[in-house]
Amino acid sequence: MDVRENLEQVRAAIAAAAVAADRKPDSVRLVAVSKTKPVEDIRLVIDAGQRVFGENRVQEAQSKWPGLKAETPGLELHLIGPLQSNKTADAVALFDVIQTVDREKIAREIAREIEKQGRSPRLYVQVNTGSEAQKAGIEPDQADAFLALCRTELGLAITGLMCIPPVDENPGPHFALLSKIARENGIETLSMGMSDDFETAIGFGATEVRVGSAIFGARPSM
Ligand SMILES: *Cc1c(COP(=O)(O)O)cnc(C)c1O
């Protein structure tokens, strides 16, 4: 498997989907999702020019990324998995973007850590567009109130929204819902779309797509 070639193909598909949606090819950023992948694989993708990466576990990211960041200046690391409150300090210290702000307790702890550490990762709110019991994210009908709380009461600059549609549903309506909530709240960054549906997501206005297996190859099932 050639990750460099995969990366080129994904970039070309992103550009084509943007053009098909009457958008500029560079209006969509690629977040390469490297969870479960070893640093050797990640280095190949960095060498091919990719600078923005996503990981879903704080502890795994801590074991892989401080070294990679030291080797290559300008890397940007996104947390795309659920944040446990005992990991908030570590997440604020390591990540450049936290995409999974999804409840008041975590939002308060992030605000406290930002104050304490003087480091401000960009913050997105995760919305559970399918209202799935097992999935993280704020309920869609509570998103406006939660965004207001984060912004006015906690002083957090929320710049993006993120969603993971239910696996067995047509993702389009979920992407449309996330886009609507973003529009109504003056939010510009829309993180939506993965290996199987990033082209659809771009059609619905995604400004960031999170692509793992199409670049790195399949992950061992967990
Ligand atoms: C794993 C993961 C991805 C990437 O999934 P692929 O199907 O491998 O592209 C994207 N977003 C989140 C939140 C993930 O956990």
Q: pLDDT (tens digit, 9 = 90+) per residue, 78-118?
A: 999 999 999 999 999 999 999 999 999 999 999 999 999 99
> Relative to the CA of 196, which ligand 1 atom is closest?
7
Helices and strands (H, E) in the chain, number of each type: 9, 8
pLDDT, average across residues 153-173 = 97
Q: What is the pLDDT of residue 120?
A: 96
Say yes or no to pLDDT of 179 above 60. yes
Express each pLDDT in 15-73 by its tens digit.
Answer: 999 999 999 999 999 999 999 999 999 999 999 999 999 999 999 999 999 999 999 99
Would the pTM of this model clear 0.95, i.e. be above it? yes
pLDDT, average across residues 129-153 = 97
Gyration radius of the chain over CA positions:
17
pLDDT, average across residues 169-196 = 98
Say if residues 6 and 215 touch (Cβ distance below 8 Å): yes
What is the Å distance from ligand 1's center to 81 Cα?
A: 9
How many CB atoms lie under 10 A from the CB of residue 185? Answer: 16
State how far the Cα of 181 lies from the Cα of 127, in Å rounded to an integer.
9
Task: Choose one of 33, 34, 37, 50 to mutate for the ligand 1 pocket test, by most ligand atoms within 8 angstroms of C-beta.
Answer: 33
Task: Choose one of 210, 215, 216 to mutate for the ligand 1 pocket test, by most ligand atoms within 8 angstroms of C-beta.
Answer: 210
C-alpha angle 12/18/20, rounded to 5°?
100
57 by Cβ neighbours in 10 Å (0-12 / 13-18 / 19+) ranks as middle
What is the Å distance from ligand 1's center to 153 Cα?
A: 32
Say yes or no to pLDDT of 222 above 70. no
Q: What is the pLDDT of residue 197?
A: 97
